[in-house]
């Protein structure tokens, strides 16, 4: 009965989704379809929340119909707008204090290209750096040729701070121990559960990381604002400042409200008051389009895990599922018109087998004759770095957080807590090491030794792959590994990445490796097709009913064509639920 009810509800949900899509399609094809854009306009970009690395396909986030755009599409649209003679300038709303610095650098590079075409870029912020522990909003603002700051907002950019809660003391009081191990001293991810504070190596590594990030921020902003780096650092060290003081110090250009900033934008646009949002511009068929040769774009975003996506039908999870990424790499490598592959990675790590499977797929794609170039986002660390290591060229932003070549395995053990509550857990097992990762009983010395052997094996395999792929000798790989985390610029010095830059640089390298002329336009084709949003939701609905493959949706051809304009495909799919391995990061 339960299976019948769930299946019935899944079917109803699917029909409702199709009705919504059909309704949206009607409005899109009728009198409510987008109007042609004016011949002179200013592009308006709201960056009070930075574009994510990938957009959701969930209903709750509004991702099903592409209402938000990820960093890749946002940057590509900015590059197209730079070449569009109708776009005369850019207006930016600023306010994301905690955004990833690598994404900020992607946007800064696109804005620099935009300004390099002789177009203006004006930004407005209600306040800058009011959180006091990050610099993302001002780092982005400095790329513009004029910064407006609200009088009541103030300038609170004071530097970069990392705070880590250490739970061991509290867990000890509860009677909860954490078992496991790590390789090696710089692999600090499990320390929150096993230490009462930063270890000396962890503090040293984190300080080196934020020093590198802050040094880049100071150097870039000082160049943008045409002031000495030492003077800028002193201004930051003496912050916060009220708005007018920030203007006098040259940190911002104008003090006023949003209306004042917009009036300035209209004057720069010769009195034209035509602001066009990024969404409106993305839907304009008259914008410059890429064509010709094909470069495949494959994404690995989120924690890397084995299997395929198992997210809720209402909201998806931030996971890079190895089966999906491997299949995408295989399909791209087999496509005859694909000349090269760019693998975009934004991942803090994940299970070792899953990351290793992606690395293997990268090697197989190269063996099939397709150059593979990796572009790193905010973070490509641990398993995220392993997935990249067999690429022909690895490109990272200077502020990308990467490396963390190491491994750990931890699990809680609550025997003392249960005993204090009067709970007794007994075990019946067969096999000497059965239940060795139990939450209820501690491992034996032999089982702890087995865990350590497995950590040693994984660490040796990880470092061997890096050493072979990056041509590093034993001394260099030891200096680059042991769990150390690097900024992109330090990773390049260590020999772990090849070039510093963003997605556009990775695409240019891919073109060169494929023998495509530098000035020739290319089509960037995503694998898998990320416009297949509706099908992914339908698959999840049918999965709730215990159905492993959703049926083919026999829609009329006319409806399918209209849906395709929205980027909604209706192909059947499959859901596979293999077992998950233990956490090895």
Other beta carbons within 10 Å of 161:
10
pLDDT of 370-396, one tens digit each? 999 999 999 999 999 999 999 999 999
- Residue 542 binned pLDDT confidence (cut-offs 50, 70, 90): low
Q: Which of 532, 552, 578 is at the close of a domain?
A: 532
- Residue 570 binned pLDDT confidence (cut-offs 50, 70, 90): very low
Strands 393-396 and 485-487: unpaired
pLDDT of 335-357, one tens digit each? 999 999 999 999 999 999 999 99
Decide if 8 is inside a domain.
Answer: no
pLDDT confidence of residue 64? 47
Decide if 223 is inside a domain.
Answer: no
CA distances from 156 to 97, 160, 214 (A): 10, 12, 15
Query: Residue 277 pairs with which residues in a beta bridge?
Result: 44
Q: Which of 243-257, 283-297, 555-569 has the highest mean pLDDT?
A: 243-257
What letter does residue 525 receive in the DSSP assignment?
E
Same domain? 172 vs 298: no
Same domain? 389 vs 498: yes
Same domain? 190 vs 258: no
Higher pLDDT among residues 234 and 293, named by residue: 234
60 phi and psi angles, rounded to 5 deg: -65, -30
Same domain? 365 vs 507: yes
pLDDT at 284 over 50: yes
Same domain? 71 vs 101: yes
Same domain? 247 vs 130: yes
Whole-model pTM: value is 0.85
| Cβ proximity of 138 and 160 under 8 Å | no
pLDDT of 27-69, one tens digit each? 444 444 567 888 899 999 999 999 999 875 544 444 444 456 8
Dihedral over Cα of 45, 46, 52, 56: its sign: negative
CB-side neighbour CA atoms (13 Å) of 477: 18
Decide if 140 is inside a domain.
Answer: yes
CATH at residue 270: 3.90.226.10
Same domain? 278 vs 143: yes
pLDDT at 530 over 90: no
Q: Which residue has the tokens 């900024």?
A: 487
Per-residue pLDDT, averaged over 224-251, amounts to 97
Domain extent at residue 180: 168-201
Overall size of the chain counted in residues: 585
Higher pLDDT among residues 474 and 62, named by residue: 474
Number of domains in the chain: 3
Decide if 551 is inside a domain.
Answer: no
pLDDT confidence of residue 518? 83
CA distances from 512 to 54, 144, 522, 525 (A): 26, 30, 12, 17
pLDDT at 249 over 70: yes
Query: Residue 321 pairs with which residues in a beta bridge?
Result: 305
Same domain? 127 vs 188: no
Same domain? 60 vs 176: no
- Residue 312 binned pLDDT confidence (cut-offs 50, 70, 90): low
pLDDT confidence of residue 520? 84
Same domain? 358 vs 398: yes
Q: Is 162 exposed, middle or buried (0-12, 13-18, 19+ CB in 10 A)?
A: exposed
Q: Which of 532, 554, 572 is at the close of a domain?
A: 532
Q: Which of 254, 282, 310 is at the close of a domain?
A: 282
Same domain? 135 vs 154: yes
Decide if 581 is inside a domain.
Answer: no
Decide if 408 is inside a domain.
Answer: yes
pLDDT at 155 over 90: yes
CA-based R_g, the chain, Å: 26
Same domain? 251 vs 366: no
Decide if 297 is inside a domain.
Answer: yes
Strands 275-277 and 41-47: parallel
Residue 34, token pair as written in the block: 């987008």
Decide if 580 is inside a domain.
Answer: no
């Amino acid at each position: 009965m339960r299976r019948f009810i769930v299946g019935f509800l899944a079917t109803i949900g699917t029909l409702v989704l199709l009705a919504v899509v059909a309704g949206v399609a009607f409005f899109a094809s009728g009198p409510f379809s987008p109007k042609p854009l004016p011949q002179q306009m200013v592009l308006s970009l709201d960056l009070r929340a930075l574009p994510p690395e990938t957009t959701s396909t969930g209903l709750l986030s509004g991702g099903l119909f592409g209402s938000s755009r990820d960093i890749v599409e946002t940057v590509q649209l900015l590059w197209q707008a730079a070449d569009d003679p109708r776009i005369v300038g850019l207006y930016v709303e600023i306010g994301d204090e905690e955004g990833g610095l690598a994404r900020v650098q992607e946007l800064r590079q696109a804005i620099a290209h935009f300004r390099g075409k002789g177009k203006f870029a004006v930004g407005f912020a209600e306040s800058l750096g009011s959180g006091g522990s990050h610099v993302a909003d001002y780092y982005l603002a400095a790329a513009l040729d004029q910064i407006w700051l609200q009088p009541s907002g103030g300038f609170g950019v004071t530097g970069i701070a990392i705070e880590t809660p250490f739970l061991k003391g509290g867990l000890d009081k509860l009677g909860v121990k954490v078992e496991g191990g790590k390789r090696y001293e710089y692999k600090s991810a499990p320390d929150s559960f096993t230490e009462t504070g930063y270890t000396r190596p962890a503090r040293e590594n984190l300080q080196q990381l934020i020093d590198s990030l802050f040094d880049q921020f100071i150097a870039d902003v000082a160049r943008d604002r045409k002031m000495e780096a030492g003077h800028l650092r002193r201004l930051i060290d003496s912050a916060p400042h009220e708005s007018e003081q920030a203007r006098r110090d040259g940190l911002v250009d104008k003090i006023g409200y949003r209306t004042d900033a917009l009036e300035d934008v209209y004057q720069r646009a010769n009195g034209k008051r035509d602001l066009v949002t990024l969404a409106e511009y993305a839907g304009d068929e008259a914008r410059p389009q890429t064509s010709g040769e094909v470069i495949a774009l494959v994404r690995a975003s989120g924690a890397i895990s084995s299997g395929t996506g198992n997210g809720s039908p209402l909201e998806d999870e931030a996971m890079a599922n190895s089966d999906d990424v491997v299949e995408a790499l295989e399909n791209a490598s087999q496509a005859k018109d694909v000349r090269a592959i760019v693998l975009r990675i934004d991942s803090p790590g994940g299970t070792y087998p899953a990351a290793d499977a992606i690395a293997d797929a990268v090697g197989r794609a190269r063996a099939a004759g397709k150059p593979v170039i990796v572009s790193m986002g905010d973070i490509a660390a641990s398993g995220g770095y392993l997935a990249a290591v067999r690429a022909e060229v690895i490109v990272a932003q200077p502020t990308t957080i990467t490396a963390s070549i190491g491994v750990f395995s931890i699990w809680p053990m609550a025997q003392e807590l249960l005993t204090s509550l009067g709970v007794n857990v007994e075990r019946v097992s067969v096999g000497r090491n059965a239940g060795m990762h139990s939450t209820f009983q501690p491992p034996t010395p032999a089982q702890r030794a087995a865990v350590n052997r497995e950590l040693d094996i994984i660490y040796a395999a990880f470092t061997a792959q890096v050493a072979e792929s990056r041509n590093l000798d034993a001394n260099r790989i030891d200096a680059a590994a042991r769990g150390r985390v690097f900024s992109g610029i330090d990773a390049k010095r260590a020999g772990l990445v090849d070039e510093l830059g963003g997605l556009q640089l990775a695409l240019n390298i891919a073109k060169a490796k494929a023998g495509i002329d530098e000035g020739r336009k290319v089509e960037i084709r995503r694998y898998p097709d990320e416009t297949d949003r509706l099908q992914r939701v339908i698959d999840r609905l049918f999965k709730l009913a215990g159905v492993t493959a959703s049926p083919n949706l026999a829609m009329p051809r006319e409806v399918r064509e209209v849906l395709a304009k929205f980027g909604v495909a209706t192909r059947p799919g499959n859901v596979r639920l293999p077992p998950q391995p233990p956490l090895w990061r």
